[in-house]
Amino acid sequence: MDGAPKNLIDVARLPGEAYPRPARPGRRTEPPSATYWPEAFLFRHPRFPAVLQHVRQNDIVLHQHEFAELVFVVTGTAQHLGRGRAGRLHAGDTFLVAGPQTHGYRHCEGLIVVNILIRNEFFRRHAPLLAHLRLCRTALGLLLAKKPAARPPAIRVQHLAPDELAECLGLLEALDRESRSRTYEAVVVAQGLLLQVLATVSRHGTARRTARAVRQHTGIQNAVRLLEERITESVTLPELAAAARLSSRSLLRHFHTATGFSPRQYQLRLRIAQAGEQLREGRRSIKEIATQLGFPDTNYFSRVFRKITGAPPSRMI
């Protein structure tokens, strides 16, 4: 339907309508209200980390969840209600709601959304990984806080390009297929897919912010270009500062703001990205690639490669 996954649950579970049974039959829970939605009425599989919904969204008042919710706007528009302000939603918008944050919809016009309802336990279990994703930092802060936030931060809306949205919806289709199984293997695969969805959304947002920041500062563009041109060499800080026409201190500050990394870390990632491409081509050995890209030895190259990609270089061959 309009580019959205076809197999997702196609219901709008709004207060007053039929909810799925609680995950644990016999467990007493309060019925959902218009302003608070409990986890037990939406999560039927006790081990599965998420519930997916493909919703034709109607107007709904400000409400809060006992779980986190990642929303993708597939088509249509609406006014998104949040803490003290309202903004217009359009196709491609995505946002994450967690903890005490409240939100709602008003003036919905053909609004179709795909929601991923995510157990809080998933965020706690994977906190060491998710803490590095800009998308998840606010959610983790709210969920791991010892005391509830008196004034929760506003919900940040991120926009995805059509191809980026399609990539995310493709991952959701795979996640939906796994949700139909009750095996432990499906639960494990679903955990990985959910991590991949969150990382993919966060990566697109980081790339867009980086590109915008680099465009806004010509000096940083020059520094980045120098690192790319001399990818196999050690570029000194004075050389980068001269290319950017900045002091060394200003260069480090602006470079980190634009890219999220120091110049050395950025160049290491450039080298690893190129190494990954050469490994997939299969024309050179790991030792040859490490030497060509300026690494002193294969062991150091392998350590850096694993640290940045999460996998050893041998897995890329």
Mean pLDDT confidence for 95-124: 92
Letter string b/e over residues 187-205, b meaning 16 or more CB atoms within 10 A of that residue's CB: bebbbebbbebbbbbbebb
Give the model confidence (pLDDT) of 148-161 as tens digits: 777 888 898 998 88
Mean pLDDT confidence for 187-211: 87
- The class of domain 217-316 in CATH terms is mainly alpha
Q: Please tell me the distance from the alpha carbon of residue 221 to that of residue 226, in angstroms, as a whole number.
A: 9
Specify the CATH number for 36-166; select among 2.60.120.10, 3.40.50.11780, 3.40.190.10, 3.90.1150.10: 2.60.120.10
Which of residues 39 and 299 earns the better pLDDT score?
299
What's the pLDDT score for residue 10?
A: 33
Q: Please tell me the distance from the alpha carbon of residue 208 to that of residue 193, in angstroms, as a whole number.
A: 23
Highest mean pLDDT (candidates 186-200, 266-280, 293-307)? 186-200
What's the pLDDT score for residue 27?
A: 44
Residue ranges per structural domain of the chain: 36-166, 217-316
Confidence bin at 103 (pLDDT 50/70/90):
very high
- The proportion of the chain whose per-residue pLDDT surpasses 70, expressed as a percent, equals 85
Q: How far is CA 45 from CA 92, 114, 152, 182, in A?
A: 29, 19, 30, 8
Give the model confidence (pLDDT) of 4-50 as tens digits: 444 343 333 333 333 333 334 444 444 455 588 888 778 877 788 99
Q: How far is CA 281 from CA 105, 228, 275, 276, in A?
A: 49, 21, 10, 9
Would the pTM of this model clear 0.85, i.e. be above it?
no
Torsion of CA 30, 36, 40, 46, to 10 degrees: -160
- Return the HEC string of the chain: CCCCCCCCECCCCCCCCCCCCCCCCCCCCCCCCCCEECHHHCCCCCCCCEEEEEEECCCEEEEEECCEEEEEEEEEEEEEEECCEEEEECCCEEEEECCCCCEEEEEEEEEEEEEEEECHHHHHHCHHHHCCCHHHHHHHHHHHCCCCCCCCCCCCEEECCHHHHHHHHHHHHHHHHHHCCCCHHHHHHHHHHHHHHHHHHHHHHHHHHHHHHHHHCHHHHHHHHHHHHCCCCCCCHHHHHHHHCCCHHHHHHHHHHHHCCCHHHHHHHHHHHHHHHHHHHCCCCHHHHHHHCCCCCHHHHHHHHHHHHCCCHHHHC
Query: Are the C-beta atoms of 90 and 160 separated by less than 8 Å?
Result: no
Mean pLDDT confidence for 222-240: 91
What's the pLDDT score for residue 34?
A: 59
Structure tokens at 89: 């939603």
Give the number of other Cβ atoms within 10 Å of residue 306's Cβ.
15
* Closest C-alpha to 250, from 259, 240, 260: 240
What's the pLDDT score for residue 43?
A: 84
What's the pLDDT score for residue 195?
A: 95
Mean pLDDT confidence for 239-250: 92
Structure tokens at 227: 């690192």
What's the pLDDT score for residue 214?
A: 62
Average pLDDT over the chain reads 82
What's the pLDDT score for residue 96?
A: 95
